[in-house]
Amino acid sequence: MAYGLSVFKSDGSLGFSTADITWQTVAQFTVAANATVANTYSEIAGMTVIAQRQLVNVPPNAQEDYVPNVVISNNSQTITVSPQSGLSSSQCIIHVLAQDT
């Protein structure tokens, strides 16, 4: 590359550079069963934000496990996690990732 930043691995091969695209990690938190949580991160205002949901300790063959809903609002700054309407929700890991686009 003619300009930019390249980061090399200890073996000399290229590890990361400004030719790459990435997702940065904003936060990880665990939401208890049936809980509603709203977290705001001002540093990601206007960025593209995704929130991955991963069920925790699910007994997959013994019950209905409803994942909570996730809503991204407030110019992408606020992540709200809440049970689906009229349903209980299971414990869930939320991983918030952001990308400058």
b/e burial code for range 40-60 (CB count within 10 A of at least 16 → b): ebeebeebebebeeeeeeeee
Q: How far is the CB of 55 from other proteins (least distance, A)?
A: 7
Strand partners, 60: none
Q: Which long-range contacts (CB under 8 A, 24 or more apart) does 16-22 make?
A: 21/99, 22/99
Could you say whether residue 73 binds other proteins (CB under 8 A)?
no
Q: Of these, 31, 79, 81, 98, which contacts other proteins (CB under 8 A)? A: 98
Q: How far is the CB of 64 from other proteins (least distance, A)?
A: 5
Q: Of these, 11, 60, 85, 86, which contacts other proteins (CB under 8 A)? A: 60
Q: How far is the CB of 98 from other proteins (least distance, A)?
A: 6
Strand partners, 55: 92
Write out the residues near other proteins by the rule CB under 8 A.
Answer: 4-5, 7, 9-10, 15-16, 18-26, 28, 43-44, 50-58, 60-67, 69, 93, 95, 97-101
